[in-house]
Amino acid sequence: MNNFTSTSSFLLLEFSDMRELQILSFFVFLALYLTALIGNLLIVTVVAVDSHLHTPMYYFLFNLAMSDIGSISVMVPKAMAMSLKNDRSITYAGCVAQVFFHVFFATSGFSVLTIMAHDRYVAICHPLHYERIMHKGACLQMVAIGLIGSLIYTILHTGGTFGNTFCSNIVNQFFCEIPQLIKLSCSGISIMETGFLILAFSLALGYLIVIIRSYVQIFVVVLRIPSSQGQKKALSTCVPHLTVVTMFVASGVLVYARSTAQSSNLDSILSMIYTIIPPTSNPFIYSVRNKEVKTALQNLLRVAISYKNKFKVVL
């Protein structure tokens, strides 16, 4: 095989050779991207504007929405341009940037989900000490530690991936994904990259242990609540979070568990699930079952309509 280490570009996977299907995929990606972007921007806006939502729970939701915006913006616009222009090439620097920001936003998003699980644990299991434990300084510190840790891990993981010698520049995925890039390595998985993959699984396992431990203790406490109404109220704030975590972790684990398997259409489907579906569905999951968010959105809509009417009167 030829050595492609010095290549200036990679070739990504195109969804179809037919121009009609390429245009169709562009509009599908556009619809998903706009849905995710508008939904998460609404969450960011209502949390920032509504003073009733200035609590730890919604501060973490704000950070999750920001991570989702960054995550879906890393690969979807490029996939849209690829379908529209019928050009599946991406520069070497662009590929490095995709890997870097994808890993960073995915890791920081997972860290926020872990912090949210801890927040629900404290709120339900230690309600009398909630304000003392989850004060503003503690919330800022937890998010900052998650971001710094994600940045360090991202730098190491990206460096390890592109430190390999590539024998092909054809990536069997619609974006630069680490498992697919590893398959292009002349020597397979290097010792350094093996260490980073072990670190990745260890990090994910650590997050999962915190999440599982938090919810086991939450369920133990909830089952002790005498009234069924009280149980439903306590669990209502946990169900959206559990749904998001399950969807994100299950698809992500399947993708990385298949990193040594032969590439197939299943890889693209799974990658779309864990990269596009969570950022798109998270705003709906957290708003549909949350009365406070729905009320804040309604208030924001009323204010927007009021300003629109005033602007018409002025004109």
Q: Which of 275, 13, 15 is nearest to 169 (CA)?
A: 13
At 261, the pLDDT band (50, 70, 90 cuts) reads low
The Cα 110–Cα 104 span in angstroms is: 10
85 inside domain? yes
The tokens for 76 are 């979807």
Give a yes or no: residue 314 inside a domain.
no
- Closest to 58 measured CA to CA, from 72, 71, 69, 43: 43
Contact, 105 vs 199, CB < 8 A? no
- Identify the pLDDT of residue 1: 44
* Inside any domain, residue 265: yes
pLDDT in tens, 180-211: 888 887 765 656 666 767 777 788 888 888 88
Please report whether residue 3 resides in a domain: no
Give the type of residue at 212. I
Coil, strand or helix at 170:
strand
The pLDDT of residue 242: 78
pLDDT band at 260 (very low <50, low <70, confident <90, very high): low
pLDDT of residue 138: 93
- Residue 308 maps to a domain: no
| Range of the structural domain that residue 76 is part of | 9-303
C-beta separation of 193 from 182 below 8 A? yes
4 in a domain, yes or no? no
Domain CATH number, residue 127: 1.20.1070.10
Cα torsion 142, 143, 148, 149 to 10°: value is: 60
pLDDT > 90: what percent of the chain? 27
The answer to whether residue 2 sits within a structural domain is no
Residue 293 lies in a domain: yes
Name the domain count of the chain.
1
Please state the φ and ψ torsions of residue 291, each to the nearest 5 degrees. -65, -35
